[in-house]
Structure 1
Amino acid sequence: MGLLPNQDQSLVYAYPPDVIIGPTLLDIPAEEVFFFVIQTYITTCLQILLSKSVVTATYLHNEADPQDAVGRSLRPWKYAGQVIFTLCSVVPLFLGGGHAQGTYMRLIVAWASPVLLMLWIFAYQLLLLLPWTKTLLPIAAPTLYLWIVDTIALHRGTWSIELGTKLGIHVWPHLEIEEAVFFLITNTLIVWGSTAFDNAMAILDAFPEHFPVVPGMPSPILLLKGLFMSTADYDSARLAGLNNALIVLAKKSRSFYLASGVFSGRLRIDLILLYAFCRVADDLIDDAPSAKEADMWVKHFSHFLDTVFSAKSDRQSIDQALAPFPSEARSILVLLPSDKLSSAPLYSLLDGFRIDQRFFSEGSKENPPIKTFADLERYASCVAATIGELCLSLVYQHDPDPAASPETKLKCLTAGAEMGRALQYINIVRDVNTDAKVGRCYIPNEWFEQSALSSSEAEEKDILRHRKRILEIAFKMYAENRDAIEELPLYARSGIRVAVESYMEIGRVMRERIQQGKALDFAGGGKSGRASVPKSRRIRVGWKTMAGWRGSA
């Protein structure tokens, strides 16, 4: 493939007449036009696929912030790239001295370098900071493939470079250096162009104070406004908080972390911030060294919610409410999207944490917090149904095409709460042993009272039976409510489906082990020996789910 396909010997590229079908576009054979379309499609798809898991906004940096060492370190690289691509744009025009040899290489460098310069200016932060699998790999993989295919074509004589216009250097037999550079540069243009688009979208999504409204497909003018925004105007605190939230998510919930990659835009960011808030609250309260300190953290969170949902709330009062929290927690909590959420589910979440703390109060053995199944239902409603309701509230808040009727919204919100309870039951079944080590038991106490335990072996079988019972309840609730997912807004449907199915897969793993007569808790199965889903299986479930697959109930 080449720049100037024509039989004219003054040009650099030629096709034998018997290898093309005939139609042309501006003297370019239809085959060459099709090649550029299919190359762009393949490389772009690979770049999107490899970059989907990345929250691009976390790679943005304020280069004027003295506390942002990474941002300040980017400036020399930024200017170096600009100088290099400027020289590459100009120097080839003065080389050659009227000689045809090397014309093809000079043309490649001359026409590509100005575009590369523009893309570098627009996306250098991401190009320098993203993992190599998101930038170099989507360039290298299709380039190597096209080198191999082109080698075969050149060897067969499907096309050729005119003898007087090439350098005569080969990468390997039959692959001219010009062809190798051409494919490398065109794939670089494609990947850098996609990265520049991602950079624009990240800026628009990350800074609502600068861009209050961002449509699902922003206009070119809006994208350019994002790209031309000075990095000195980036909100460093917001970027740091988002990065901390993502770290919490990656460590504490692999299933939700996987599912978050299916969401996009501000919905994805707000879901990450919401879930990180819940995890920070759970960790500070759960890991408190004493019941007294845990109760203190509950009060701090309650005061924080009182403040952010108050009509008189301002930055000073919020800062005062955040003062007792660790710095990393503060950076996350301050970003809670409270303007898009109802306060009631968040207060209910704190009620769930209060139930947890009752396990450590005096007399808890005689009067346990989870006596009946109704107590378990209430607990699951507080700590999980609320999360389902909050997540779907954000889905509807960000819906780019809000056409759902109030009845459909109510149905989906109700089903979301039920699904949240089902997922919490999965979590309870998985964590029976780890919870027992810290003095908690979420299996209703009355179930044990109805059993006649005569030995430790009988007790173990009894616990397994109760776990199986809760697991069956979870799958029943899942089966009754999963159809509501298909009535959610289309843009968020796949993400919710992946979030649910990837967590239900933990339940399927446990159900398989029960059917095979294996222990539910096993060494190497995850943290503290808990049953978990292998990474390959989680990815496979995610792919199948996005294609519309629904797991077994």
Structure 2
Amino acid sequence: MARERLLAPSRILRTTPRQVGGGRQREVLVEKARESIARGSKSFSFASSLFDRSTREKVWLLYAWCRRCDDVADGQDHGGKLSQQSNNVSRVKGIRALTHRALEGQPTAEIAFDAFGQVAMEARITQGLADDVIDGFALDAEEWRPRSEADMMRYCYHVAGAVGVMMALVMGISPDEDETLDRACDLGLAFQLNNIARDIYEDDAAGRCYLPVEWLVEEDIPPGQHMKPAYREKLVKLVAKMLDMAEDHEAAARYGARNLSFRQRWAVLSAANIYGAIGREVRKRGGNAWDHRVHISKAAKARHVTRAFTQALLPAKEPKYYPEWTRTLLQKHAKA
């Protein structure tokens, strides 16, 4: 009996070779990533310029992936107004598939994902850590809402704390240096808490709310009614609590920056100053905080960077106590 003929001779069948960066030249990935950060985040772009060239390029590569994931998940183009939300779960599945493919050294046809494959190899970023970030997009896709403070902080870990850990790896911190990685996570948590406080109006308009249901119940604010004028005073009280938490995490992160090189420390403290200023401005405005979106001017950013230079030269001040929500605790919540 004749043997069945293969469609192609077995001797020429080959697995796709591993190609870091999807086979693209690193210089191309870096340039596209630089364009992405310049367009998507002026604050982050400004702070990244303080790094040495090697670190700066890796920061751009990481940012490009974060930005693209966010845009794909929300149907945006470098931020802006949310599009009509549909097929959200499928979008996140696509993000995860492309990310895993990039980590395997396979081309993705998406330059931001290829950039992530490049920086993940250079900085030893694991698939588990990437999945932690993607899980945050999955929560939004499922129209999830935080019921408790623990839920809110778990979300903050996924979308920002885990990114802070990635940033530390990009800066050359060893995966075994737990104390420094903990502090990097704290900085991400501080950033996200400030962002939530600032964006309450925009999130509400998009049908989202990241204030814990239990917090709202304690203040007798009905679900979905927190932006009503009648509850503005109570909302200010809740946001003040959130900003207190942000400042605690920021203080811990500032202390952790002592383990970085001078230029890295300067960049991190600059970012802490700029993003911390967002929360402090929200607090200052009180009930008027959501009439107009809080933003930090170029002149103010320059002042924060100048102040960070001096802060980077001075001995780091250890906090009297550390935040309740630690990286280890949040990772356990994330897996529960």
Q: Which bin holds the TM-score, normalised by the shorter protein?
A: 0.7 to 0.9
Structure 2 vs 1, CA of residues 489 and 405 (structure 1 numbering), >3 Å: closer, same or farther? farther
What are the residue-to-residue correspondences of 1:201-240 with 2, within 5 Å?
238-240=26-28
Distance in 2 between the 1:530 and 1:237 partners?
39
> 116, 120, 136: which one pairs with 1:338?
120
SS in 1 for 2:311: coil
Match of 1:486 in 2: 258
What are the residue-to-residue correspondences of 1:125-164 with 2, within 5 Å?
none
Contact 1:240 1:331 in 2 (8 A): no
Match of 1:73 in 2: none
Distance in 2 between the 1:302 and 1:417 partners?
22
Match of 2:89 in 1: 295
Q: Which amino acid aligns with 1:247?
A: E
> 186, 198, 202: which one pairs with 1:434?
202
Deviation larger for 439-448 or 463-472:
463-472
Give how far 1:480 is off: 3.0
Distance in 1 between the 2:229 and 2:55 partners?
49
Give how far 1:236 is off: 8.3
Q: Which amino acid aligns with 1:256?
A: F
Structure 2 vs 1, CA of residues 387 and 405 (structure 1 numbering), >3 Å: closer, same or farther? closer
Give how far 1:332 is off: 2.5
Q: Which amino acid aligns with 1:332?
A: A
Match of 2:80 in 1: none
2:66 aligned with 1:278: yes
Contact 2:89 2:142 in 1 (8 A): no
Match of 2:299 in 1: 536
What are the residue-to-residue correspondences of 1:384-533 with 2, within 5 Å?
384-396=160-172, 409-453=177-221, 456-514=228-286, 519-522=288-291, 529-533=292-296
Q: Which amino acid aligns with 1:500?
A: A
TM-score (norm 2): 0.76
Query: Alpha-carbon deviations, 1:153-205, whole Å to 9, x = none?
Result: xxxxxxxxxxxxxxxxxxxxxxxxxxxxxxxxxxxxxxxxxxxxxxxxxxxxx
Query: Alpha-carbon deviations, 1:127-149, whole Å to 9, x = none?
Result: xxxxxxxxxxxxxxxxxxxxxxx
Match of 2:145 in 1: 369
Contact 2:200 2:290 in 1 (8 A): no
Contact 1:520 1:531 in 2 (8 A): yes
Q: Which amino acid aligns with 1:488?
A: L
What are the residue-to-residue correspondences of 1:222-261 with 2, within 5 Å?
238-261=26-49
Query: Alpha-carbon deviations, 1:413-452, whole Å to 9, x = none?
Result: 0111122111100000000000111100000011122223
Contact 2:169 2:175 in 1 (8 A): no
Q: Which amino acid aligns with 2:39?
A: K
Structure 2 vs 1, CA of residues 419 and 242 (structure 1 numbering), >3 Å: closer, same or farther? same
Give how far 1:501 is off: 1.7
Contact 2:72 2:95 in 1 (8 A): no
Structure 2 vs 1, CA of residues 264 and 476 (structure 1 numbering), >3 Å: closer, same or farther? same
2:53 aligned with 1:265: yes
Distance in 1 between the 2:250 and 2:208 partners?
25
Give how far 1:463 is off: 1.9
Distance in 2 between the 1:275 and 1:308 partners?
15
Distance in 2 between the 1:477 and 1:369 partners?
22
Structure 2 vs 1, CA of residues 277 and 342 (structure 1 numbering), >3 Å: closer, same or farther? same
Aligned-residue CA RMSD in angstroms? 2.8
SS in 1 for 2:115: coil
Match of 2:332 in 1: none
**Structure 2 residue runs without a partner (length 5+):** 1-19, 77-82, 320-336
Structure 2 vs 1, CA of residues 506 and 453 (structure 1 numbering), >3 Å: closer, same or farther? closer
Higher normalized contact order (CA 8 Å, seq sep 6+, divided by chain length) = 2
Contact 1:358 1:369 in 2 (8 A): no
What are the residue-to-residue correspondences of 1:34-45 with 2, within 5 Å?
none
Give how far 1:303 is off: 1.2
Q: Which has the larger radius of gyration?
A: 1
SS in 2 for 1:530: coil
SS in 2 for 1:396: coil
SS in 2 for 1:499: helix
Distance in 1 between the 2:101 and 2:190 partners?
32
Distance in 1 between the 2:151 and 2:45 partners?
30
Distance in 2 between the 1:511 and 1:465 partners?
10
Contact 1:418 1:477 in 2 (8 A): yes
Give how far 1:369 is off: 2.1
**Structure 1 residue runs without a partner (length 5+):** 1-208, 210-234, 324-329, 360-367, 398-403, 523-528
Contact 2:136 2:155 in 1 (8 A): yes
Distance in 2 between the 1:282 and 1:429 partners?
19
What percent of counterpart residues are identical? 23
Distance in 2 between the 1:410 and 1:275 partners?
23
